[in-house]
């Protein structure tokens, strides 16, 4: 039987998820989107109502952390997608609905919470505890023993040094370097980062 997948969210992020899903053996991929005007997304069909027959897997491809969390909580089972070029240490734990993109590296002892995006060429080093619905953007890096809360966004090229803890709902701007714990939610930019 064909492996079937519905990707929730016909967006750029969804397009990358579809590519990875194909490499994970999904042969029949369709998108779900609230936007009634979208009926086609590249080569993919877009549906606006979920089929009654539950013969498909589901992946939530919403870039915004909070929205992805809200939507994910409506569903029991969300698949995890891993690009074949990603390097994942043996005792790494990945939650439901995680996506690990091309050339990302997750080193041993790390836990990645539900719905987190580990984007292209990013790396999460050993013994990190990464919360739920985080997004580590393209080429962002966390060193060893980093802890993040939920809905943390690390912008493109952001760096988090070792042994740092970051609370819930923190956005680290593109290129930001985190050298100390962040205990208050908000947006942090610069080298080293300061609250915006
Ligand atoms: C931090 C961020 C969210 C701020 O966005 P914003 O609120 O729209 O901010 P603005 O563009 O209005 O900039 C406000 C000020 O912050 C500065 N600033 C913005 N982003 C910055 C960054 N990443 N690093 C350093 N300074 C930054 C701007 O230069 C500007 O400075 P000024 O007031 O002296 O002119 C955004 O710039 C950013 O870095 N987003 C990350 C995007 C990303 O990585 N996407 C990856 C997807 S895979």
Atom 48 of ligand 1, nearest CA residue:
137
Residues of the chain with CATH 3.40.50.20: 4-61
In the structure, which protein residues have their CB atom closer than 6 angstroms to any atom of ligand 1? 119, 137-138, 155-156, 171, 173-176, 187, 189-190
CATH of the structural domain 4-61, one choice from 3.40.50.620, 3.40.50.20, 2.60.120.380, 3.20.20.100: 3.40.50.20
Q: With a cut of 80, say whether residue 2 has pLDDT above it.
A: no
Q: What is the pTM of this model?
A: 0.97
Supply the mean pLDDT for the chain. 97
Q: With a cut of 80, say whether residue 1 has pLDDT above it.
A: no
C-alpha 173 – ligand 1 centre gap (Å): 6
Which of 13, 48, 83, 126 is an active site residue? 126
Q: If you write DSSP's letter for every residue of the chain in order, what string do you get? A: ---EEEEE--SHHHHHHHHHHHHTT--EEEEE-S-TT--EETTEEEESS--SS--SEEEE---SHHHHHHHHTT-S----EE-TT-EE-TT-EE-TT-EE-TT-EE-TT-EE-TT-EE-TT-EE-TT-EE-TT-EE-TT-EE-TT-EE-SS-EE-TT-EE-TT-EE-SSEEEPTT-EE-S-B-S-EEEETTTTEE-
For residue 83, indicate whether it is catalytic: no
> What pLDDT, on a 0 to 100 scale, did the predictor assign at position 115?
98
> What pLDDT, on a 0 to 100 scale, did the predictor assign at position 164?
98
pLDDT, mean of residues 157-161: 98
Residues of the chain with CATH 2.160.10.10: 81-195
Atom 20 of ligand 1, nearest CA residue:
173
C-alpha 51 – ligand 1 centre gap (Å): 41
> What pLDDT, on a 0 to 100 scale, did the predictor assign at position 52?
87
**To test ligand 1's pocket by mutation, which of 104, 155, 157 has the most ligand atoms within 8 angstroms of CB?**
155
Q: Decide if 155 contacts 171 (C-beta within 8 A).
A: yes
Counting atoms of ligand 1 from 1, which one is nearest the CA of 135?
48
Per-residue pLDDT reduced to its tens digit, 64-113: 999 999 999 999 999 999 999 999 998 999 999 999 999 999 999 999 99
CATH topology of domain 81-195: UDP N-Acetylglucosamine Acyltransferase; domain 1 (2.160.10)
């Amino acid at each position: 039987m064909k492996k079937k997948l519905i990707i929730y969210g016909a967006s750029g992020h969804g397009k990358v998820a579809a590519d990875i899903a194909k490499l994970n053996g999904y042969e029949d991929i369709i998108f779900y989107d609230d936007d009634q005007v979208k009926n086609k997304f590249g080569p993919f069909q877009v549906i606006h109502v979920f089929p009654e027959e539950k013969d498909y897997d589901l992946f939530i491809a919403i870039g915004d952390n909070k929205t992805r969390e809200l939507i994910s909580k409506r569903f029991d089972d969300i698949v995890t997608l891993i690009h074949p070029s990603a390097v994942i240490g043996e005792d790494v734990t990945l939650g439901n609905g995680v996506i690990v993109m091309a050339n990302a590296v997750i080193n041993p002892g790390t836990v990645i919470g539900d719905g987190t995006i580990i984007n292209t060429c990013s790396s999460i080093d050993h013994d990190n505890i990464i919360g739920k619905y985080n997004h580590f953007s393209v080429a962002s890096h966390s060193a060893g023993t980093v802890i993040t809360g939920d809905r943390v966004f690390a912008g493109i090229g952001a760096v988090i040094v070792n042994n740092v803890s970051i609370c819930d709902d923190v956005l680290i701007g593109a290129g930001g370097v985190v050298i100390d714990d962040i205990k208050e939610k908000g947006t942090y930019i610069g080298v080293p980062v300061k609250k915006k």
